[in-house]
Structure formats: structure tokens, C-alpha cells
Structure 1
């Protein structure tokens, strides 16, 4: 039986040992490198420089065009419409004949009052003749009384007869005046059966047709045609209750009409309503607005009442203000502004049973870029225009601020995160 020969231990040279140690060190180094925390990749943002300059507060509102002067022509009389010579779009001059209402009834009333006046005049003639007769009789009785041939009683009776007849003559004169007043009224009603243009303008609406019945009333108008002066137009817009407090009569404005895109017309605030218009009252969708009238100071060829428009009203200007793009201002809660370390140390507080969860207060912030890092700055804002906003405190002129994209500003960006200017096409397009 053959005995096993023990294996000799393998001996490594110093070179092999150094090579093995180097290999182990490389593996450990590679493992340590792979396990070390990686730096946060910078977020692509759009930036802008805060500038110092003028900014004007602008209040925007939407509404409709309307004629500066619009007259609704109706009738004070009831009757059938026998003639109407104008149509929508016709240009008319003040005093121009437009149409007429059946006048037979009112012409008859004129003839009736003319007859009444003639009858009263005839009665006055008779009374005047009688007065002259009694005055002559009085003169005769006075002569007889002077010669003693008539008694005092006869004289007094003659005087009283003259006085009574004079009174009856005066009553006849009053009846004539009454008849003349009634005749004037009847003639006025007859004149009202003919319709004339009240102003120079354009017929914007014809609401009656020949043969229809016109209702005359002092309490509710029955409109026949509407005449408007389209050479001067107004915009009637609705301004929210939080913005109307900044408006004043005489403020300058610009009006853009939907029918004429990319053009704006100068205007001026001429009236701010004191009564609110409330829509959806008593619901969550309740909206309170105030009507505001703007007079367009330049003619708008082709504009018609009822066209939709938008107005930008300039209310106040600050000349030397620190201004940033309006989208650069965002909001964060106090918890978000305290940073990750402080948030980890916070202990959540459970609300009391039945109590409503309290909403965290928010702060206006602007993210300022400092050496490639976004820093959240609490800011106070002032006036706002259509595209820019005034910073009263928190940002200095020349500092670089983040203005987009909206998603990054609203949700992702935090204090201390690295940022870089985004390249268009890689998430850097403006929202």
C-alpha cells in the first residue's frame, strides 16, 4: 500500500503579493465609489434678471361694446302702425320722417275740440252783446234817476244785471281758454302719430312691422326702432370687487375688440357703477362684479353694439420699482421653507377629534440663483402689470431669478437645489 505524500505549501513571491493587494484595494475603492451619495443633478430652469424701472398696475376686464348715445323710439299713443320707412342699418337725420300710426281717432278729437272752441267763442259773442245791451240800459236808468223819473231800486237792479252779465261773459272767456287747451292737446296727440328720428344716427334695431299694434304707455315702452350714434362707442365691462377699488374716473385704458384682433383702441373711464352685479348668489360659484363704462376716444370703423371686447385699464404707476416677471413669484408654506433637516425634526401634531384640519399659511417667494443654486427669498409685492410685478422687499435689481417652467416653480424647486439654464427643447420652454 502506497502512502500519500503531503502537498507542499505554495509560496507567493513579493511581486504576486503586491499585485493581489493592489487588486483588493481597487475592488474596495470601486465599491466605495459606487456606494457614495451622488450629487443631485441640477434642474433645468428659465431665468431672468430683476430690473429697476417703471411699472403700471393694469386691471383687465371683459365686456361688450355699446353706442355712446342710443335712443329707443316708442309711441305715447296706441294704434296700428300704418307706415315704417326705415330698416336696420339705415342712416337717419334728426327730424327725418320714419313712419306713422293710425291717426283717425286723434284727428276726430282735434275736430271735436275745434268745434268746442268755436261753440265757446259763439257763447262769448252772445254774452258780450248782452253786456253791451245791459250797459246801455244802465246808462238810461241813471239819466232817469238823475231827473227823478227812476227810483233807486231800478238803478240798483240795472247795475246788478250788468255785473251778472259781465261775469257770464268772463266765464265764456274761460270756457274758450279751456277749449283752446283741449284743442292744443288733441293736436299734440295727432302730431305724435307721426314718427320722426330723434337724433342723427343709424337704425340698429327695427322691432315693429307695418300692421302691428303699438301700445302707448308712460310706464312700459313699446319700442318701435332703436337709433344709435355709432360714430362714438363705449365699452361696458365687468370688473371684480377686488380690483374696482383701484379704478378712478379719467383713468386711461386700451380696448381690444374680438372682431378686430391684434389692434387696440384708446379709451377712458367715464363711469364706475356703485351697485354690484351678483351672479350665482348664495352658491360657491358666487361672483360679484361692478359695471364700468369706458369711452373710446378714437373712432372704430365697422364696430357694432354687442361686440365682445377686453379692456386693460391703467390705474397707478411707480417709476423706480424693482420688477421681475410675474410668473417668477410663487408660494410656499412655512414648512416647505424650513428645509429638509428641520422638517425631519418636527413632530406631527394630531388635530383634536372633530376639529377641522388647519390650512398652513403660505408665503410669497422668489427663487434667486446664487452660484448655480436656487435660494428661496420671501418677498413683498406691489403693483402688477400684465407680465411683470413689483417687488417691494426681498430682491435687488440685477439679481437673477427663476421664472419657469411653471411646473418646476410650483412643485419641484426648493431652497438649496442646484439649477441650470434650460436649453429650449429640453424643458426650458416658457410656460
Structure 2
């Protein structure tokens, strides 16, 4: 029994030594690779914007009053000239009748003044004949002439009064017509800001009662593009975008306008780029947020290098426990970043070897390979697996017995 126990103890000791040796050995390092393939690369500028109708008309009122009737509601199709609301016309009709009465009085006064003028003219002519015959004196003739001139002035004054009353009547009739609010364009009502019984006041700023989109089959997106990217935007460039309502569907549009006016928000300068979109299926609605990608360059049948290959940097088994330095530190910056070159790594005898390359345009996953020793089908390293597990206590700056105080 004692011999068996000694043998078992020896086996446990050997197993412990083996396990300790296995745990202390350097971790195995492997590498993931990706193949350089030929394909299409589309370079784009990403931005956000809001969908809106190409032409949106805000309908107000030119007279004040109480909303008497509403003829349309949200999403109602309207035609140009169609009544969409009516303000209580009672006061406006009364004003029309009053103005009509004033006009009739003015016309009657004009007619009376003309009769007086005819009588004064006749009297003056008769007195002129009598003056020549010596029947009346010069003073009597002057009196008749003065009456004639006064009658002429009264006729002109009556004509002015008639013109004033006609203007007042026209204004009253116009206000009565304005009491019926009509659609200025063909379109669809997308907002309504009033209800029956509500009082509206037309003062210096006309209140907005309705908003009408002229044509929802053609929409536009006002995209805010950063100043760093605006130089690559051109008219007629293709645009793809998505909205939250249809996350799996991609819509297409085209750049139609690049506005020069800068928009400065918290020292960030952006410019508005207008994108027109066909909305024949009416899926897009005004106000939707669009995630836009403007295609600025496209190249077909080029060598596609995975972007992960440019980001890869080999590390040794001792790198895992070391404290990383800042990325912008020149001590850790790779040579290609300091000199303007681009480098990737390939495997030779199981070890990563740096290769110099030249690149072109890029998309979200790959970049164009324009020069260097690599060709289609070559494998490039994109990730290192393993190479970690050294003592982290030393990396933290403490002693094996614990941190110093």
C-alpha cells in the first residue's frame, strides 16, 4: 500500500509540473487572412436630412373673423380655387350693403349737382343776353356767372364722392370674397391649424391656417453636408438613402442643387445640398429623417483590399500586458503613417511581413488597390488571434507581492 501511495504521489507531482509548464508557455499565435478580390468600389459622402414636398404653400387669411365652416381636413385633395374654409360673412355682407347705400346717395347727389349746373348755365346765358340789351346790370350777370362756376365745382365734388363710395363698395365686396378661403394650388392638405368657432386675426403677419403640398409624388431632401466633404459634391450625382419607416428598403435620388450659404452651428460649418426623389408610390412622407449617401466616385473591376488589412498591426506575446500608448504618439505610430505610405501584412513562413502598397477610393468595407506587389487572389492579414497572457501585474507597474503604497 505504501508503494502504491508513493507511485500515486509521484504521478500527481509529474502532472502538476506538466500543467504548470503548459500554462507558462507562450500562447500560440494564429492569423486571420482575407483574399484580395476584384469588384466595384463606390465612394460616398454620408449625411442626414429631412424629406419634404418640393412645393409647399402656406394658406392664410386676409381678413379677420370667426371660422364659420371647414370644407377640408388632413390629407384632403384640393384643386386650385376650391373653397377650403369660410369666415363668418355677416359683417362683410353688412359692410357691402352699407357701401352700396353710400354709393347710391353719392350718385343721387351727383345727379342733383348736374341739374343745378344746367340751371345755372341757362341762367348765365340768359343774363348775358339781357346784359347786352341793357336790361340788367353787370352785377346781376356776375352773380349768375358765379352761381354757374359754383355749380360746376359741386358737380366735380359729387363725382369725387361717387368715386370714393365705389372704392369702398369694391373693398367691401373684396373682403366678402376673402371670407371664403380658397386653395391657391392643386395639392393635398398636410396640416390644418384652425377649427370651427376659432377667431383668426389678419394683422401685419398673416396667420397660417392650412399647409398644402402641391405634389407628393415628387419629394426633396435638404441634406446638411460637412465643409470637409462639400468639395466632392456635384450636381446630378446619384444618391441612395433610407428612412426609419422602411429600414430594409433603399431609395434613390439625385443632387439638384448645392447652396452656397453656410450654416454655422456651434462652430461647425455645413452646407445644404438639395436632393430630388421620385415618390410615385407615396411611401415617403414629409418630415421623415433620411440617412443619405451621396455617390462621389465609382470604379468597377478594381482590386478590393479589405480595410481591416490597413488597420492590422502585429503584436508579440508580451504586448498584451503593456500599457498602450496614445495613438497619436510618434513612438507608436507605424512607419507608413509617418511617411505617407500604406502598408499591409502577408504571411511568410507563418510570420507577418509588411508590404508597401498604394490605394485609391474606398467604401465602407474595402479600398482600391492601385499599386504595390500584391495582386488578385493574394491573402492579407486582417487579425491576430492569440499572443496574450503575460503577467499583467508587471504591466500595471506593481510588484509580485502587490502594489506599493
TM over 0.5: yes
In 1, the alpha carbon distance for the partners of 2:85 and 2:252 equals: 38
Match of 2:47 in 1: 61
Counterpart Cα distance in 2 of 1:253 and 1:108:
58
Match of 1:293 among 270, 274, 285: 274
Per the alignment, do residues 366 and 98 of structure 1 end up closer, same or farther by CA in structure 2, a change over 3 Å counting?
Answer: same
Which residue does 1:389 correspond to in 2?
A: 367
The equivalent of 2:123 in structure 1 is 137
Cα distance in 1, alignment partners of residues 362 and 141 from structure 2? 100
Mapped contact 2:34–2:306 kept (Cα < 8 A): no
* Counterpart residue number, 2:208: 223
Q: Any residues of structure 2 matched to 1:10-25 within 5 Å, and which?
A: none
- Whether the aligned pair in 1 keeps the contact of 2:120 and 2:148 (CA below 8 Å) is yes
Counterpart among 46, 56, 77 of residue 33 in structure 2? 46
Q: Determine helix, strand or coil for the equivalent of 1:261.
A: strand
Match of 1:122 in 2: 108
Q: 1:223-302 to 2 correspondence within 5 Å?
A: 223-228=208-213, 229-279=215-265, 281=266, 287-302=268-283
Alpha-carbon distance, 1:154 to partner:
5.4
Provide the aligned length of Structure 1 versus Structure 2.
345
In structure 2, relative to structure 1, the CA distance for the partners of 1:400 and 1:149 (3 Å cut) is: farther
SS of 1:89's partner is coil
Greater Cα offset, 224-233 or 147-156: 147-156
Residues 31-42 of structure 1 aligned to structure 2 (within 5 Å) = none
Contact 2:103-2:165 at 8 Å conserved across structures:
yes
| Map of 2:60 onto structure 1 | 74
Aligned mates of 1:358, 1:256 — CA distance in 2: 35
SS in 2 for 1:311: strand
Residue 330 of structure 1 corresponds to which residue in structure 2? Answer: 311
Determine the C-alpha separation between the residues in 2 that align with 1:79 and 1:262.
49
Cα–Cα, structure 1 residues 183 and 374, in superposed 2: closer, same or farther, change >3 Å? farther
What runs of 5+ residues in structure 1 fail to find an aligned partner?
1-33, 341-356, 413-431
SS of the equivalent of 1:62 reads strand
Secondary structure of residue in 1 paired with 2:157: helix
Contact kept? 2:44, 2:296, Cα under 8 Å: yes
Quickly say closer, same or farther: Cα 1:50–1:177, change in 2 above 3 A.
same
Per-residue CA shift, 1:135-169, capped at 9, x if unaligned? 22232233334445556665565445434432332
2:402 maps to: none
The CA deviation at 1:187 is 1.6
Distance 1:179 1:122 in 2: 12
Query: What is the RMSD of the two structures over their aligned residues, measured on CA atoms?
Result: 3.8
Which region of structure 1 is more displaced relative to structure 2, 315-324 or 288-297? 315-324
1:199 aligns with 2:176: no
Residues of 1 paired with 2:259 and 2:186: CA distance?
28
Q: Counterpart of 1:367?
A: 344
Report the CA distance shift for 1:312/1:124 in structure 2 as closer, same or farther (over 3 A): same
Answer whether contact 1:365 1:376 (CA < 8 A) is retained: no
Task: Indicate the residue corresponding to 1:185 in structure 2.
Answer: 171
Going from structure 1 to structure 2, the CA distance change for 1:200 and 1:328 (only over 3 Å counts) comes to farther
Aligned to 1:264, what secondary structure does the other structure show?
Answer: strand
Contact kept in structure 2, 1:55 and 1:321, CA below 8 Å: yes
| Corresponding position of 1:99 | 85
Superposed counterparts of 1:393-408, under 5 Å: 398=376, 400=378, 402=380, 404-405=382-383, 408=384
Normalising to structure 2: TM-score of the pair?
0.70
- Output the TM-score relative to the length of structure 1: 0.67
Equivalent-residue separation in structure 2 for 1:185 and 1:73 (angstroms) = 21
| Counterparts of 1:253 and 1:71, CA distance in 2 | 27
| 2:403 corresponding residue in structure 1 | none
Quote the offset at 1:56 in angstroms.
Answer: 4.3
Q: Is the contact between residue 217 and residue 278 of structure 2 (CA under 8 Å) also seen in structure 1?
A: no
Three-state SS of the structure 2 residue aligned to 1:122 is helix
Q: CA deviation at 1:296?
A: 0.6
Deviation at 1:188?
Answer: 1.6
What secondary structure sits across from 2:162 in the alignment? helix
Which residue number corresponds to residue 153 of structure 2?
167
Larger radius of gyration: 1
Higher alpha-carbon deviation: 53-62 or 236-245:
53-62
In 2, distance between residues paired with 1:84 and 1:320? 61
> C-alpha separation between the residues in 1 aligned to 2:168 and 2:225?
52
CA distance in 1, matches of 2:72, 2:376: 66
